[in-house]
Amino acid sequence: VDYMKSYMRKGLKPSDQYLYLEWVGKGHWDTIFPHHFRTVYDNKELLIRFTNTINNSQFVSSALSLTREFWPNGKMPDETQPISFLFFSKDARGYNPIIIDLLYAYELHNKDELVNMLAHEAHHYYRNKILVFKELAEDNPDHLIIHTLNQVHLEGIADQIDKVQSLANPLNANRS
């Protein structure tokens, strides 16, 4: 939490801008976070308008229909997943609630990509609702194989929703 506060201060607090510029000059990898926060701040009106264009049930309905196509027998839990837009980095997470970085959503090329990304994260959300196994302790000799199988199941199916084009044509990929 403290590191995020530090990134936000460097990105948003004018008196700390010199720290951000120092980081950039030294090539620190984590300048991406303050830069992200600054970009969100500089584009807040645009992002507010953008939220009004995506805040509709058709957007969510389209994403859930796509998620359902990759679900066994198309039978997902009936519950609708909560979605929160916030800013943290150019990413999204299939947590409860699903979180999507607003700037990341805005910068996707078109609404179809946004629907695909939400469908991917919704798959994670619903999968976690029905998951019946627990990760093994790291000192368990089977930990690595179970973890690997879980990751293949977790991302292998969800990636078929929104990554097929980038896997087929990596030169045109917008996400990895």
Q: Residue 125: how many CB atoms within 10 A of its CB?
A: 23
pLDDT > 90? residue 129: no
Q: Please indicate, yes or no, whether the overall pTM of this predicted structure exceeds 0.85.
A: no
Residue-wise pLDDT tens digits, 59-99? 788 888 898 888 887 677 777 778 888 888 889 999 888 99
Smallest CA-to-CA distance from 80 within 93, 92, 68 is with 68
Of 57, 77, 59, the closest CA to residue 68 belongs to 77
Give CA separation, 157 vs 26, 97, 127, 154, 174, in Å: 40, 20, 10, 6, 19
User: Which of 7-21, 43-57, 115-129 reaches the highest mean pLDDT?
Assistant: 115-129
